[in-house]
Amino acid sequence: MPYSSRVSSVREKVRERVQECPVKLVYDGPIEGTRYRAIVLEIPEEAIKEKIPEALEMLNEYTEAVWECPYKEFCRRAYDEGEDLPFVGTERDAAVAILASEFLRKYLGYPRLDLSVVEESGYGLPEFMMYYNEDARSVCGKWMWCCGAHGCPEMDVSGLMGSIKEVEKTYEFMYKWFKKLPRNHDTHYVVCVFESEL
């Protein structure tokens, strides 16, 4: 089978795997002048709302296992009382992470790929990192999301490995994408950046 036919065949299989998913692929390609590849996803508000119960359950499991308290109690201690605790994202952050992870596992063919919303302080890793699996040492990239209505979020590319120039180009790429995406309350966007071999 010629190479172009094999590529078309693989693309068709990937399309079939992700077709029923509410997440849509907007862009997949290299970030020029860097070692990174970027994937931009679109997620409807309705899908995020539907995932909130699962997201809360996941956050509760995490905070109870690590801090021996439910998620809401963890938030009270961290944000209302100012206790020095690592960052843990909101239930909306977690819902977006679950949806994007489900899509990317199928699209990329990595069944345990995980978009995290918690800081891995033991490894010096910030929040919103991507991992091949549950092990923090399997870090492979960075992700961010924004509400379409709010435009560009506060940009953070900390945790990416590479030269200052590469990280700056990545920041510029993410900023450009978030600025040009359409703004509305019903659609949200995720930008994932990772080593191009993934």
Contact criterion met (CB below 8 Å) for 51 and 95: yes
Inside any domain, residue 75: no
Considering its fold, how many domains does the chain have in total? 1
- Burial bucket for residue 155 (CB in 10 Å: 0-12, 13-18, 19+): middle
Residue 32 lies in a domain: yes
Is 5 contained in some domain? no
List pLDDT tens digits, range 79-97.
888 888 888 999 999 999 9
In a domain, 68, yes or no: no
Q: Is residue 148 part of a domain?
A: yes
What pLDDT was estimated at residue 7?
40
Indicate if the pLDDT at residue 134 is higher than 50: yes
In a domain, 3, yes or no: no
63: left (phi over 0), alpha (psi -120 to 50) or beta: alpha
Query: Is 15 a member of any domain?
Result: no
Classify residue 77: in a domain, yes or no: no
pLDDT band at 194 (very low <50, low <70, confident <90, very high): confident
Instruction: Look up the domain containing 39 and give its range.
Output: 20-55+85-195
User: Which uninterrupted H or E stretch holds 138?
Assistant: none
